[in-house]
Structure 1
Amino acid sequence: MLVRALALSVALLTPVAASPDQLFEDVRILAADGMQGRLVGTPGSAKARAYLIGRMQAIGIEPFGEGYEQPFKARHKDQTLDGVNLVGRIRGTRSSDRVLVIGAHYDHFGVRDGKVLNGADDNASGVATLLSIAASFARERPVHDVIFALWDAEEQGMYGAMAFVEAPPVPRGRIVLNLNLDMMSRSDKGELWIAGAHHYPFLRARFEALASGAPVTLKIGHDGPLWKGSDDWTAGSDHYAFHRRGIPFAYMGVEDYPDYHQPGDDFDAIPKEFFARSAATALMAARLFDRELGAIANEAGRGE
């Protein structure tokens, strides 16, 4: 009954998807050769960041304090990384201490052997999806406050997300759930995955409701015992920074493919129809998690 009720809720909450033109344009720009692969601490990263700040301003995402940039330092092997997260929020329509964090990393690997690793799917696609969700929420405001975070230095070890969780712009206890978007646009099987239900079983019915109404094939898994030694995503992306602090997560992404972390991860290789449906599914998830955030908080023991 719960899954059926949630599925009905998903159907009622699903907004009309916006034109995918801006979604594609964001990926095209972020994955252009001129961004030089968006490696942390490089001019290409700064160029991508300038573009993203402009997009956040245009959408109407509110910064914390005077600007979106939240610099951090991280020790990685024998070097110090100078990273910069971009963080803002859209305020909810109700007074509540509960907060949803939607995140995606904007960095990639830069230039390797003279070839630019543009990271169109990984993770310009997640960033573009996040921006499309923010634009929807700016038009039709969420119930709860939603933080939109674009993290740096994920590829080296999730350092941006770790820095965010250690010093968030709101008290950590207010954060109920992290929706992490990492690799949203390419799948040889036409499948999008969502992980997190093994660790937070109260999320499973919500994931199943999303899967029943999603415009893409949405599969649940890549976490828990069945995946040990075979691509368990629990510690594979920025959501792990939240998980290690006991904050529930929902991680949406695709499985690896031959161009993963290779020069072939370019904009032209993205199947546009699948990507549009994948982004629409992420928007459905964001809407459902926002509407359900109070119940999730209670079930997770993170009530007000």
Structure 2
Amino acid sequence: MKLKHYYLVLVAILTLSCKGQTSETTQEVETTETIEKTVTLFDTEALLERVKFLSLDSLEGRQTGTKGGLIAREYVINQFKKYGIAPLLDDYTQPFTFEGRRDKKTYKGANVLGVIKGTDHPEKYIVLSAHYDHLGVRDGKVFNGADDDASGTSAIIAMAEYFKSNPPKHSVVIASFDAEEMGLQGASYFVKANTLSKEQIALNINLDMVGRNDNNELYVVGTNLYTQLQPAIDGLELPENFKLLTGHDGLDGKQSWVFSSDHGPFHREKIPFLYFGVEDHKDYHKPTDDFESIQPEFYAKAVTAVIAVFEKLDEMSS
């Protein structure tokens, strides 16, 4: 589905929900039932617009500590404010410093942390995470990181939007981590700093690269390691023409993704996790990972599926 047509469908759906319908409109909406469901969960147009902004050339790849990285950070903070996400700490940022593994330089990063208090278990937290940094500029080429991980960053904000009308039972930390591309530094700092005690964290749900897949497949990693989370996947009602696959956890012969993103530091501390992501595509860590390659229909379905898993986890986690 081309982006322009996708927006036309959204307009038709939103017109239907707000102003009634004509027979012609009804026919068009019935052919896009899955997308209609998504619109009721979160603003799909805003989901895409956030990815588009974060992957602009002017942000120069959002590398930690650069001007573009700072612009991305302020943008994420403003989005948290827009959707009523309260700061977890004194303000939205959690500054940290670290030494680069290769150049031994000292870098300054900052996680962006918000919280939505749970209705039934406010003392227990589900950490919902994605990283807002990317690779920056290399050899004069901008690595925009639209899928990696502007897609995940926008997705967790969409989920926060969903929580406004569907309050979670557990408290939820909305964590936009920095310096993932430099060795999972932001997530590692969050865990090591005891931002929340390990006893308070029920689990981590991490999203990294959820915006495109030609086979309509999204992987969820972690259920083979934390079998108590498997019921959240079993019998799940998924969007049409969409597959949620398990694996890549080091136990199935496939490449292990257990420490490939910000869920890794949680796993090291034996905090249960689920990681949602697609298999590497041709633009992974390339300057061609641009907004134009995001697949709007798949992306909306992916976020919808993660919300469905979250809902089951929120019911069963203690």
The answer to whether the superposition gives a TM-score over 0.5 is: yes
Measure, in 1, the Cα distance between the counterparts of 2:214 and 2:255. 17
Would you say the 8 A contact 1:59–1:134 is kept in 2? Answer: yes
| TM alignment of 1:258-297, pairs within 5 A | 258-294=282-318
Query: What residue identity is the alignment partner of 2:79?
Result: R
Alignment partner, residue 5 of structure 1: none
SS of the residue 1:111 aligns to: strand
Aligned to 2:279: 255
Specify the SS of the correspondent of 2:224. Answer: coil
1:67 aligns with 2:84: no
Query: Any conservation in 1 of the 2:64–2:109 contact (CA below 8 Å)?
Result: yes
2:238 corresponds to:
213
Q: Which residue in the other structure is 1:119 paired with? A: 145
Residues 1:15 and 1:37: Cα distance change in structure 2 (over 3 Å): closer
C-alpha offsets along residues 105-133 of structure 1, whole Å, 9 cap, x if unaligned? 11000011111100000000000100000
State the match for 2:66 in structure 1: 42
Alpha-carbon distance between aligned partners in 2 of 1:196 and 1:164, rounded to the nearest angstrom = 20
Maintained 8 Å contact 1:64/1:169: no
For 2:257, which of 229, 233, 241 is the aligned residue?
233
Shift of 1:214: 4.6
Distance across 2 between alignment mates of 1:238 and 1:177? 13
- Measured at CA, do residues 95 and 218 of structure 1 come closer, stay the same or move farther in structure 2, by a change above 3 Å? closer
Match status 1:21 vs 2:25: no
Amino acid at match of 1:25: E
Using the alignment, how far apart are the partners of 1:142 and 1:64 within structure 2? 16
In the alignment, which residue of structure 1 is the partner of 2:159?
133
Between the aligned partners of 1:246 and 1:129, the Cα distance in structure 2 is 25
Between 1:195-204 and 1:245-254, the stretch displaced more is 195-204
Q: Any conservation in 2 of the 1:102–1:179 contact (CA below 8 Å)?
A: yes
The equivalent residue for 2:126 is: 100
Q: Deviations over 1:2-27 (max 9, x none)?
A: xxxxxxxxxxxx99422310100010
Q: What is the one-letter code of the residue matched to 1:132? A: A
Tell me, yes or no, if the aligned pair for 2:198 and 2:271 is still in contact at 8 Å. no
* CA distance in 2 between partners of 1:65 and 1:213 (Å): 35
Higher Cα radius of gyration = 2
Name the SS for the 1:209 alignment partner: coil
Cα deviation, residue 95, structure 1: 4.2
Counterpart CA distance in 2 for 1:281 and 1:85 is 26
CA deviation map 1:67-89 (0-9, x unaligned): 10100111222122211100010
Question: Which of structures 1 and 2 has the larger relative contact order (alpha carbons within 8 angstroms, sep 6+)?
Answer: 1
The answer for the alignment partner of 2:15 in structure 1 is: none
Q: How many residues get paired?
A: 278
Equivalent residue letter for 1:156? M
Runs of 5+ unmatched residues, structure 1: 1-13, 295-304
Q: In structure 2, what residue type is equivalent to 1:277? A: K
Mapped partners of 1:209, 1:248: distance in 2? 21
Q: 1:29 and 1:280 mapped to 2: Cα distance?
A: 22
Counterpart of 2:82 in 1: which secondary structure? helix
SS in 1 for 2:233: helix
Structure 1: distance between partners of 2:119 and 2:190: 25
Q: Is the CA contact 1:98–1:293 (under 8 Å) kept in the aligned structure 2? A: no
Q: Structure 1 51/286 Cα, relative in aligned 2: closer, same or farther at 3 Å?
A: same
What is the rounded CA distance, in whole Å, between the counterparts of 1:267 and 1:280 in structure 2?
20
Distance 1:271 1:95, change over 3 A: closer
CA distance in 1 between partners of 2:125 and 2:82 (Å): 23
Aligned equivalent of 1:143: 169
Q: Which amino acid aligns with 1:270?
A: I
Q: In 1, Cα distance between the equivalents of 2:172 and 2:157?
A: 13
Query: How far does residue 97 in structure 1 lie from its aligned partner after superposition?
Result: 2.5
Q: Which residue is equivalent to 1:79?
A: 105
Q: TM-score, normalised by structure 1?
A: 0.88
CA distance in 1 between partners of 2:239 and 2:124 (Å): 26
Contact residue 143 and residue 285 of structure 2 kept, 8 A: yes
Matched, 1:183 2:209: yes
Structure 2 unpaired stretches of 5+:
1-37
RMSD over equivalenced CA pairs, Å = 1.6
CA distance in 2, matches of 1:165, 1:44: 26
For residues 251 and 218 of structure 1, the distance between their equivalents in structure 2, rounded to whole angstroms, comes to: 12
Provide TM-score, normalisation by structure 2.
Answer: 0.84
